[in-house]
Amino acid sequence: MTKKRVLIVDDDARNIFALSATLRSRSFDCVSCLSAEEALKLLNTDEHIDAVLMDMMMPEMDGYEAIPLIKKIPSRVSTPVISVTALAMNGDKEKCLAAGADGYVSKPIDMDKLLELLSNI
């Protein structure tokens, strides 16, 4: 069985480290980017990414801007993008889904919920 490869996009290296360690312990392969711009470049060139975990609040380009751009990449139309955000207020989930996210988790991350979302890839 081939490991599923997840791209983690977050401007905080500590979040990337924690998510990567947990996902790797669950047999996922992880790659990461510190910005949405880097992620877009990688998603245009690396065909072996099965899902994206996108931090919604980043400087320069945030997840709300990046997700629609990811979904415009012909080879990425069906790549699941899960929004990861510290915001957990009313309407935040809907705003993420309206931007094109396929799933939503808030920080601190409920790993059971995240793994359930990733089980569909």
CA distances from 77 to 35, 52, 53, 88, 106 (A): 20, 12, 15, 26, 23
Proportion of the chain in helix, strand, coil states, percent, rounded to 5: 40, 20, 40
Confidence of residue 1 (pLDDT cuts 50, 70, 90): low
Q: What is the pLDDT of residues 67-92, one digit of tens each?
A: 999 999 999 999 999 999 886 777 88
For position 2, what pLDDT does the model report?
76
Task: Tell me what the mean pLDDT of segment 11-20 comes to.
Answer: 95
Quote the mean pLDDT of the chain: 93
Rounded to whole angstroms, the Cα distance separating 78 from 39 reads 16
Indicate the angle between helix axes 63-71 and 36-45, nearest 10 degrees: 10
Out of 3.20.20.70, 3.30.930.10, 3.40.50.10490, 3.40.50.2300, select the CATH number for domain 5-113.
3.40.50.2300
Say if residue 114's pLDDT is above 70: yes
Q: Which strand (E) or helix (H) includes residue 32?
A: strand 29-33
